[in-house]
């Protein structure tokens, strides 16, 4: 494994609201290696999407990065000027978003929207960019690319529009693809089509993919490595096989137990008590402590740092060992 | 079962019943933040007060002209000066406020009532009623209301009532279209579907579900409507079709001022200034209301 | 089929007029429901599952077919008598904040249901509201709150409390948990199940999430492009899916693997759901079906019995072999 | 071609609307108390003649009534009149029968059209950029100034502004710009500015509102993710989408402006349609009044048709 493609260190992000402030990301550190699929899993409000969006400068207006670095190819993205970031976005890092219905420009032909990235980054001349767009459209499964080049987004279904989003993201052959809940808004059969397409494209191009999702099933089947996030911090990092064999963090365990799956009929499902609430004060101790059945006084004051827990497995919990023995 | 109740309690910190949580109060807080809107509201309230008590407070009777003091500039006796017949401009303006208010509010009310009735009818009933009313709205929208007002003035004459109807009647289309779109938006929404599933009658749904959610937008429309009608009244007078002198009105004063603007400019300053300031205040209030009740800003 | 059926839907069809063209939302659907049981309606977007739910409640009028609720055909009676029947049938929506009046406190919203039917005095209704809030696991102070102050999970409980307030017999749950977080989802599902046991409620549970439907339903109907392609008791359907579309659905669901070697491959079927404006002739699924034959393209398959209470609309369902020859 | 069919449909609608407007006005004026449309005005004017020479009186009256077709049944009158209107044979003014209406309108209509069109163009040319700047610099002092000024522009009606202009350029800065009359482009400047003041505000506020809304959309975030630079993002993605919302405002604004011309022409003493209409209405000259309504109405409706076509060209989702 060479030097990691993107490594984020001690990232803190805050959002200003009319009456209070929300601590969305509270010290997140992880890295993505080349040709790797990383799954970042968590419920809404866990800060999974904010972490990635802030690292490439797509933070909402009321958000501010208060600390941390994001090294990509030896340069810190967080210290970059807007112009430099614009060169990287779309060329070296591609992004796919959640809702295909609203993520395409309604008054611009889809062919032009795919070609725009190539022309902006002078990746190819107009003629060559046109041919490459047709080729890309064919590759992602859009029938009759030549005529459909001139169609507009409202003439396509949700699944097709997500394919167009993928074509846009891959236009300049980026090394890293960030997929922010790419299949959440799609039906299950369409989701499978998109995941299959993403897997083929990734393998052909040796591209790294970061998949942000709340769906454990998608993450554990699609990604090589899993990161579980809660309350703006990383709870657990593990190779997927290790994660499946032995989930160690109380939150991950609780989450896996509370998901209803095929074949669970009649089985008693134990929900995690309470619900995720936005953190509006300076976080102290483990964010999951208020809802954790194994929480001790220490969990409330001292923030558990990520520490190794067996090979290719890290955990941020003071009592991981006891928890695992109890659960086994 | 107990665990879910306990769990729900931890998430929720709900304060006791207090009026400061109702959407109306939230709206008022947002309105107050719009400083210009507050200033506008102050001026508009003054304008209304002047309209009510004006005639009793006015130093001179609007009919009485002081021949000795024709076309004088502002002085202690006549703070806003006098016109070419010796009327005290300050009293004239006070009377005009009343006449303007009576006609503008009357006309807005006429437009509003016709608009609400037809808008609700088209929105709720749908079918042919909707098609006919909407075609009528398009018809009224193609030509400026002022043209219809002109024709109506010829027909009905230039008294208070005829002016109210002349300006009011052509103004219904805007309100009808707004009410219809609001009603249609809600009728297909889940809130009304849920109420229907509860067994609520259409009257109950209209009263308790639709009306409270329409009031905000209607308030904004009214706040924009009134200044519109004020301009129409003045426009008619400039055109020579407004209130017949000697009844004072902003339109007549401004028309008169424009005839001899070169000689006595103050004839213009006060009526035009107050008239414009009033319009501006209404617009600021409307802008503030929009901010308070705008759907984009949430409720 | 025992005769004390709460609900019988027979050959219901519904079409909408869209820009002059006919949209086939529901095509000749039939099913029956015993009191205290749950029927799961599963299907992807555009399958018409929500429309079917609204047809049963007569929030939409069907073109043809009968809907017998406690013996009366509600698709034919006048709107005025329908209102009395509304007390027995209620609905819970996917987005609770859209179904609640933003200008009404939660307490008033629940009380309004009883006010409409003039049930009890003001005081009695207030007491009932507190009782309902406690029953769905919300603290009593919530009755003063406005919808914009509560979380998704809490709003959904308010929606349930409001539906319960009239002691209904049938509740249509239209994707009640799809918009909620995982940990909150389970709490609402358990609440629904406990309430069913306690009040002997009958549910029609509509969702695109097969796992949740399996967990809650006694019987499941799979909808594709407005038609019921397969219907069976819950465990039978998952043990022996007999319609190609049901099989595709089951294979497309990504489960958390028990063991690393069980990680699923990403294999997907071709094509997209055709537009309901011009549904394909014959079997609606034939353009995307791996087993499609010439007859599938021309003749619409009728419901064939696979086993007791298990029907599938597919030419390949061989009654003897008890399901599709793989 | 779809567009041709759309235009044909809309033209038919315009013609129907005009027929309705004119027939309605004709009927209203016919029954209006002022004896507006029957020959009572002429009868009163000639009353003394009736006493002296009844024969001559009846001759003149018959000749007058037949000239204006007043002796036909009402619906026939309307049909005849509509036929003349649409064939642009406007007949003669009642006030001074010798003056041929179409001649009179030939010089005045272009003046009003020029004023109205000029002010709408001016308000778009100034309003759109102002709105964009206010949106991009949201909640800064620039946005504050633009919003307040545009509200003020809306608040001061054209006729008030016109009088102020006359005062300014007539007295204080005398000679720079002519304050009355019509001829070269100089005379056009002040009236157009007065008319445009109100519109600039509306156009700017609409543009600002729809651009702010557009820049919040998901597809702007997609464009940023593509690395699209700031200005192309604002114009190719932001402004292009918000133009559609803004164009819908232009139609009604044009109708509002056309009304403004009537007042402005009077104050600046410009021989436009407004002047003609004013005298026609105040002196109950029905042929002139109805014809001016006819011309004004068709001008506005054609403008609305133009706006709809431009809207359809810009927004592909709109099927004609």
Contact B191 C98 (CB under 8 A): yes
- Is B209 part of the contact surface with chain C (CB cutoff 8 Å)? yes
Q: What is the pLDDT of residues A3-32, one digit of tens each?
A: 889 999 999 999 998 888 999 999 999 999
Q: Helix H segments across D32-100?
A: 40-45, 47-52, 54-68, 74-86
Here the ipTM equals 0.84
Shortest distance, CA A299 to any CA of chain D (angstroms): 38
Share of chain C above pLDDT 90, in %: 48
The per-residue pLDDT of chain C, averaged, comes to 88
3-class SS letters over chain A: CCCCCEEEEEEEEEEECCCCEEEEEEEEEEEECCCCEEEEECCCCCCHHHHHHHHCCCCCCCEEEEEEEEEECCEEHHHCCHHHHHHHECCCEEEECCCCCCCCCCCCCHHHHHHHHHHHCCCCCHHHHHHHHHHHHHHCCCCCHHHHCCCCHHHCCHHHHHHHHHHHHHCCCCCEEEEECCCCCCCHHHHHHHHHHHHHHHHHHCCEEEEEECCHHHHHHHCCEEEEEECCEEEEEEEHHHHHHCCCCHHHHHHHHHCCCCCCCCCCCCCCCCCCCCCCCCCCCCCCHHHCCCCCHHHHHCCCCCEECCCCEEECCCCHHHHHHHHC
Predicted confidence at residue A28, as pLDDT, reads 94
Predicted confidence at residue C201, as pLDDT, reads 94
Predicted confidence at residue B118, as pLDDT, reads 92
Q: What is the pTM of this model?
A: 0.84
Are the C-beta atoms of residues C193 and A238 closer than 8 Å to each other?
Answer: no
b/e sequence C30-67, b meaning 16+ C-beta within 10 Å: bbbbbeebbbbbbbbebbbbbbbbbbbbbbbebeebeb
Average pLDDT over residues A27-43: 93
Residue closest to A165 by CA, chosen among A176, A177, A148: A177
Q: Which residue has the higher pLDDT, D267 or C69?
A: C69
Assign C1 a pLDDT band (cuts: 50, 70, 90): very low
Main-chain phi, psi angles of D182, to 5 degrees: -150, 145
Q: Helix H segments across C92-243?
A: 96-99, 106-116, 122-135, 152-164, 182-199, 210-216, 234-239
Under DSSP, the state recorded for B199 is: T
Q: Helix H segments across C27-174?
A: 49-56, 79-86, 96-99, 106-116, 122-135, 152-164
Q: Helix H segments across D69-185?
A: 74-86, 101-136, 141-155, 158-167
Q: For residue C199, is pLDDT > 50? A: yes
Question: Which residues contact residue C239 at a Cβ distance below 8 angstroms, ignoring those fewer than 6 apart?
Answer: none
- Is D222 part of the contact surface with chain A (CB cutoff 8 Å)? yes
Contact D282 B240 (CB under 8 A): yes
Predicted confidence at residue B28, as pLDDT, reads 84
Residue closest to C234 by CA, chosen among C246, C245, C244: C246
Give the long-range contacts of residues B120-128, CB within 8 A, separation 24 or more.
Answer: B120/B179, B120/B180, B120/B183, B120/B206, B122/B176, B122/B180, B123/B179, B123/B180, B123/B181, B123/B182, B123/B183, B123/B184, B123/B187, B124/B183, B124/B187, B124/B202, B124/B206
Find out whether the peptide bond into D96 is cis, omega within 30 degrees of 0.
Answer: no
Contact D229 A120 (CB under 8 A): yes
State the number of CA atoms in the 13 A half-sphere of B168 facing the CB: 20
Shortest distance, CA B19 to any CA of chain C (angstroms): 10
Predicted confidence at residue D94, as pLDDT, reads 63
Question: Which residues contact residue C225 at a Cβ distance below 8 angstroms, ignoring those fewer than 6 apart?
Answer: C24, C27, C46, C47, C48, C273, C274, C276, C279, C284, C285
Average pLDDT over residues A239-260: 89
Predicted confidence at residue D41, as pLDDT, reads 62
Are the C-beta atoms of residues A19 and A68 closer than 8 Å to each other?
Answer: no
Predicted confidence at residue A227, as pLDDT, reads 95
- Is A264 part of the contact surface with chain C (CB cutoff 8 Å)? yes
Shortest distance, CA A118 to any CA of chain C (angstroms): 29
Assign B9 a pLDDT band (cuts: 50, 70, 90): very low
- Chain B, residues 17-36, CB within 8 A of chain C, namely 17-18, 21-24
Assign D214 a pLDDT band (cuts: 50, 70, 90): very high
b/e sequence A183-221, b meaning 16+ C-beta within 10 Å: bebbbbbbbbbbbbbbeebbeeeebbbbbbbbbbbbbbb
Shortest distance, CA D299 to any CA of chain B (angstroms): 10
Residue reference for tokens 């990092």: A237
Predicted confidence at residue C292, as pLDDT, reads 84
Assign A128 a pLDDT band (cuts: 50, 70, 90): very high
Dist CA C252 CA C209 (whole Å): 11
* Minimum mean pLDDT range among A149-163, B89-103, B106-120: B89-103
Contact C254 A215 (CB under 8 A): yes
Chain B contact probe: residue of A254, A274, A280 with most B CBs at under 10 A: A274
Predicted confidence at residue C308, as pLDDT, reads 86
Predicted confidence at residue A194, as pLDDT, reads 93
Dist CA C13 CA C62 (whole Å): 6
Predicted confidence at residue D27, as pLDDT, reads 77
Assign C3 a pLDDT band (cuts: 50, 70, 90): low
Question: Which residues contact residue D111 at a Cβ distance below 8 angstroms, ignoring those fewer than 6 apart?
Answer: D182, D265, D270, D271, D272, D273
In whole angstroms, how large is the CA radius of gyration of chain C? 21
Dist CA A73 CA A68 (whole Å): 16
Dist CA A77 CA A85 (whole Å): 7
- Chain B, residues 176-205, CB within 8 A of chain C, namely 189-191, 193-201, 204
Predicted confidence at residue D115, as pLDDT, reads 87
Q: Which residue has the higher pLDDT, C124 or B7?
A: C124
Chain C contact probe: residue of B126, B199, B293 with most C CBs at under 10 A: B199
Q: What is the pLDDT of residues D102-135, one digit of tens each?
A: 777 778 888 888 888 888 889 989 999 999 999 9
* Minimum mean pLDDT range among B210-219, B244-253, C85-94: B244-253
Which span out of B29-33, B264-268, C103-107 was modeled with the highest average pLDDT?
C103-107
Measured CA to CA in angstroms, residue B233 lies from B46, B106, B115, B164, D292 at distances of 20, 12, 20, 9, 21
Average pLDDT over residues C19-36: 89
Q: For residue A52, is pLDDT > 50? A: yes
Predicted confidence at residue D40, as pLDDT, reads 61
Predicted confidence at residue D113, as pLDDT, reads 85
- Is A45 part of the contact surface with chain B (CB cutoff 8 Å)? no
Report the alpha-carbon angle D68-D71-D74, nearest 5.
90
Assign A146 a pLDDT band (cuts: 50, 70, 90): very high
Q: What is the pLDDT of residues A159-192, one digit of tens each?
A: 999 999 999 999 999 999 999 999 988 989 999 9
Assign A1 a pLDDT band (cuts: 50, 70, 90): low
Q: Which residue has the higher pLDDT, A212 or B188?
A: A212
Q: Beta C304-307 vs C64-69: how paired, if at all?
A: unpaired
Q: Is the domain A6-92+172-260+268-327 a CATH 3.30.1300.10 member?
A: no
Question: Which residues contact residue D22 at a Cβ distance below 8 angstroms, ignoring those fewer than 6 apart?
Answer: D81, D82, D85, D290, D293, D294
- Is A274 part of the contact surface with chain B (CB cutoff 8 Å)? yes
Contacts with A83 from chain D: Cβ below 8 Å: 229
Name the closest residue on chain D to residue B274, using Cα atoms: D156
Q: CB A305: neighbour CB atoms within 10 A?
A: 13
Tell me the two tokens of residue B157. Answer: 């004459």
Are the C-beta atoms of residues C174 and C55 closer than 8 Å to each other?
Answer: no
Average pLDDT over residues A239-263: 88
Predicted confidence at residue D128, as pLDDT, reads 92
* Minimum mean pLDDT range among C124-138, D18-32, D122-136, D303-317: D18-32
- Is A238 part of the contact surface with chain C (CB cutoff 8 Å)? no
Partner residue facing B276 (CB), from D156, D255, D301: D156
| Burial of A224 (C-beta count, 10 Å sphere; 0-12/13-18/19+) | middle
Dist CA B216 CA B211 (whole Å): 9
Report the alpha-carbon angle B111-B112-B113, nearest 5.
95
Q: For residue D46, is pLDDT > 90? A: no
| All domains in chain B, ordered by first residue | 36-58+80-292 (1.10.3720.10)
Q: What is the pLDDT of residues A63-103, one digit of tens each?
A: 999 999 999 988 999 999 989 999 999 999 999 999 999 99
Contact D217 A90 (CB under 8 A): no
Query: Using DSSP, how many helices (H) and how many strands (E) does chain B show?
Result: 13, 0
Predicted confidence at residue D280, as pLDDT, reads 77
Q: What is the pLDDT of residues B158-194, one digit of tens each?
A: 888 989 999 998 889 889 989 998 888 888 888 999 9
Share of chain C above pLDDT 70, in %: 96
Q: What is the pLDDT of residues B205-220, one digit of tens each?
A: 988 998 888 888 888 8
Element (H, E) at B254: helix B250-259
- Chains in touch with B (≥3 Cβ pairs < 8 A): A, C, D
DSSP track, D255-291: HHHHHHHHHHHHHTT--SHHHHHHHHHHTT-HHHHHH
Assign A148 a pLDDT band (cuts: 50, 70, 90): very high
Main-chain phi, psi angles of C207, to 5 degrees: -165, 160
Share of chain A above pLDDT 90, in %: 64
Predicted confidence at residue C322, as pLDDT, reads 45
Range list for CATH 3.40.50.300 in chain A: 6-92+172-260+268-327
- Chains in touch with C (≥3 Cβ pairs < 8 A): A, B
Under DSSP, the state recorded for D4 is: H
Predicted confidence at residue B85, as pLDDT, reads 77
Shortest distance, CA C265 to any CA of chain B (angstroms): 38
Average pLDDT over residues C24-39: 92
Q: What is the pLDDT of residues D64-96, one digit of tens each?
A: 777 666 667 777 777 877 777 777 776 666 666
State the number of CA atoms in the 13 A half-sphere of C62 facing the CB: 30
Are the C-beta atoms of residues B172 and B114 closer than 8 Å to each other?
Answer: yes
Contacts with A57 from chain D: Cβ below 8 Å: 224
Average pLDDT over residues A237-257: 90
Dist CA D238 CA D211 (whole Å): 6
Share of chain A above pLDDT 70, in %: 99
Chain B contact probe: residue of A17, A275, A279 with most B CBs at under 10 A: A275
Predicted confidence at residue D38, as pLDDT, reads 55
| Burial of C290 (C-beta count, 10 Å sphere; 0-12/13-18/19+) | exposed
Q: For residue B2, is pLDDT > 50? A: no
Contact A159 C153 (CB under 8 A): no
């Amino acid at each position: 494994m060479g030097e990691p493609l993107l490594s984020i260190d001690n990232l803190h992000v805050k959002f200003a609201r009319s009456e209070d402030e929300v601590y969305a990301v509270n010290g997140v550190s992880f890295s993505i290696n080349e040709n790797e699929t990383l799954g970042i899993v968590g419920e809404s409000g866990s800060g999974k999407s904010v972490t990635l969006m802030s690292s490439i400068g797509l933070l909402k207006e009321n958000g501010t990065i208060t600390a941390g670095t994001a090294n990509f190819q030896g340069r810190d993205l967080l210290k970059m000027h807007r112009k430099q970031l614009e060169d990287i976005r779309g060329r070296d890092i591609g992004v796919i978003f959640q809702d295909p219905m609203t993520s395409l420009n309604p008054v611009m032909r889809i062919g032009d929207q795919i070609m725009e990235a190539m022309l902006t980054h002078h990746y190819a001349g107009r003629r060559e960019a046109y041919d490459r767009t047709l080729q890309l459209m064919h590759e992602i499964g859009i029938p009759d690319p030549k005529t459909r080049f001139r169609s507009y987004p409202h003439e396509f279904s949700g699944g097709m529009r997500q394919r167009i989003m993928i074509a846009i993201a891959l236009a300049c052959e980026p090394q890293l693809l960030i997929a922010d809940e790419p299949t959440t808004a799609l039906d299950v059969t369409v989701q499978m089509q998109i995941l299959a397409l993403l897997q083929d494209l990734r393998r052909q191009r040796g591209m790294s993919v970061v998949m942000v999702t709340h769906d454990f099933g998608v993450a554990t089947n699609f990604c090589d490595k899993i990161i579980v996030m809660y309350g703006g911090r990383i709870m657990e990092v593990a190779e997927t096989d290790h994660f499946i064999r032995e989930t160690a963090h109380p939150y991950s365990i609780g989450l896996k137990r509370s998901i209803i799956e095929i074949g669970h009929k009649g089985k008693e499902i134990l929900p995690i008590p309470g619900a995720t609430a936005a953190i509006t004060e300076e976080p102290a101790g483990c964010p999951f402590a208020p809802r954790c059945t194994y929480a001790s006084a220490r969990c409330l004051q001292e923030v558990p740092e990520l520490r190794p827990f067996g090979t290719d497995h890290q955990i941020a919990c003071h009592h991981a060992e006891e928890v695992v023995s109890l659960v086994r | 079962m107990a665990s879910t109740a306990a769990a729900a309690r931890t998430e929720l910190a709900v304060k006791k019943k207090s009026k400061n949580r109702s959407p109306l109060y939230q709206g008022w807080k947002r309105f107050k933040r719009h400083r210009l809107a507050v200033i506008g509201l102050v001026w508009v309230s003054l304008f209304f007060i002047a309209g009510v008590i004006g005639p009793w407070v006015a130093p001179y009777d609007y009919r009485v002209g002081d021949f000795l003091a024709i076309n004088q500039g502002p002085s202690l006796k006549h703070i806003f000066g006098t016109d070419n017949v010796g009327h005290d401009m300050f009293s004239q303006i006070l009377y005009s406020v009343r006449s303007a208010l009576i006609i503008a509010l009357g006309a807005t009310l006429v437009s509003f009532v016709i608009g609400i009735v037809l808008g609700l009818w088209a929105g709720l009933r749908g079918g042919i009623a909707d098609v006919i009313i909407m075609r009528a709205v398009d018809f009224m929208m193609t030509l400026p209301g002022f043209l219809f007002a002109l024709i109506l003035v010829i027909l009905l004459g230039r008294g208070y009532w005829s002016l109210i109807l002349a300006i009011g009647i052509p103004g219904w289309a805007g309100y009808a279209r707004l009410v219809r779109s609001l009603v249609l938006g809600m009728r297909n929404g889940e809130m009304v579907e849920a109420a229907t599933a509860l067994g609520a009658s259409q009257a109950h749904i209209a009263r308790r579900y639709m009306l409270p959610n329409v009031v905000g937008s209607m308030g904004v429309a009214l706040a924009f409507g009134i200044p519109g009608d004020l301009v129409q009244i003045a426009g008619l007078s400039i055109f020579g079709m407004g209130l017949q002198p000697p009844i004072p009105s902003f339109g007549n004063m401004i028309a008169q001022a424009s005839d001899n603007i070169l000689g006595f400019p103050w004839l213009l300053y006060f009526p035009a200034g107050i008239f414009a300031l009033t319009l501006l205040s209404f617009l600021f209030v409307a802008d503030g209301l929009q901010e308070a009740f705008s759907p984009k800003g949430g409720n | 089929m025992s005769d004390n059926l709460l609900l019988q839907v027979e050959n219901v069809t519904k079409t909408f007029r869209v820009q002059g063209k006919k949209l086939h939302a529901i095509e000749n659907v039939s099913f029956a429901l015993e009191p205290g049981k749950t029927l799961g309606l599963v299907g992807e977007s555009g399958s018409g599952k929500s429309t079917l739910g609204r047809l049963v409640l007569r929030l939409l009028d069907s073109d043809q077919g009968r809907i017998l609720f406690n013996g009366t055909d509600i698709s034919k009676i006048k709107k005025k008598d329908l209102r009395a029947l509304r007390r027995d049938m209620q609905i819970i929506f996917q987005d609770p904040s859209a179904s609640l009046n933003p200008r009404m406190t939660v307490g008033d919203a629940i009380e309004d249901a009883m006010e409409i039917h003039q049930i009890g005095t003001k005081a009695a209704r207030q007491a009932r509201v507190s009782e309902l809030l406690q029953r769905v696991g919300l603290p009593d102070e919530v009755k003063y709150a406005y919808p914009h102050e509560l979380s998704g999970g809490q709003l959904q409980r308010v929606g349930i409390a409001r539906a319960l307030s009239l002691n209904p017999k049938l509740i249509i749950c239209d994707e009640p948990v799809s918009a909620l977080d995982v940990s909150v989802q389970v709490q609402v599902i358990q609440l629904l199940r406990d309430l069913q046991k306690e009040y002997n409620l009958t549910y029609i549970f509509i969702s695109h999430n097969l796992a949740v439907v399996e967990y809650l339903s006694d019987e499941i109907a799979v909808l594709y492009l407005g038609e019921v392609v397969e219907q069976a008791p819950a465990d039978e359907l998952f043990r022996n899916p007999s319609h190609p579309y049901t099989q595709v659905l089951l294979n497309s669901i990504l489960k958390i693997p028990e063991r690393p070697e069980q990680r699923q491959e990403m294999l997907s079927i071709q094509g997209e759901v055709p537009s309901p404006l011009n549904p394909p002739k014959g079997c609606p699924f034939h353009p995307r079906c791996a087993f499609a034959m010439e007859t599938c393209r021309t003749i619409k398959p009728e419901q064939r019995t696979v086993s007791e209470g298990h029907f599938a609309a597919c030419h390949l369902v061989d009654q003897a072999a008890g399901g599709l020859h793989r | 071609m779809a567009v041709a069919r759309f235009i044909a449909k809309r033209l038919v609608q315009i013609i129907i609307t005009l027929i309705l407007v004119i027939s309605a006005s004709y009927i209203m004026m016919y029954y209006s108390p002022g004896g507006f449309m029957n020959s009572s005005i002429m009868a009163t004017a000639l009353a003394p003649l009736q006493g002296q020479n009844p024969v001559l009186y009846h001759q003149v009256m018959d000749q007058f009534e037949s000239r204006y077709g007043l002796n036909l049944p009402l619906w026939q009158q309307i049909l005849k009149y509509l036929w003349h209107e649409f064939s642009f044979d406007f007949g003669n003014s009642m006030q001074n029968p010798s003056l041929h209406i179409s001649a009179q309108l030939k010089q005045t209509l272009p003046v009003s059209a020029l004023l109205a069109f000029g002010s709408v163009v001016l308000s778009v040319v100034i309003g759109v950029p102002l709105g964009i700047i206010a949106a991009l610099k949201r909640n800064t002092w620039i946005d504050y100034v633009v919003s307040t000024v545009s509200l003020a522009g809306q608040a001061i009606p054209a006729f008030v502004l016109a009088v102020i202009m006359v005062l300014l350029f007539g007295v204080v800065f005398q000679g720079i710009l002519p304050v009355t009359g019509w001829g070269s482009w100089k005379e056009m400047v002040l009236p157009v500015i007065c008319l445009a003041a109100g519109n600039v505000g509306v156009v700017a506020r609409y543009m600002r509102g729809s651009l702010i809304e557009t820049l919040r959309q998901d597809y702007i975030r997609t464009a940023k993710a593509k690395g699209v630079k700031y200005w192309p993002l604002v114009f190719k993605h932001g402004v292009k989408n918000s133009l559609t919302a803004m164009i819908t405002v232009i139609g009604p604004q044009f109708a509002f402006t056309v009304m403004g011309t009537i007042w402005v022409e009077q104050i600046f003493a410009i021989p436009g349609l407004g002047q003609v209409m004013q005298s026609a209405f105040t002196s109950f000259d029905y042929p002139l009044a109805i014809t001016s309504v006819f011309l004004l109405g068709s001008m506005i409706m054609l403008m609305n048709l133009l706006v709809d076509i431009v809207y359809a060209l810009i927004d592909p989702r709109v099927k004609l």
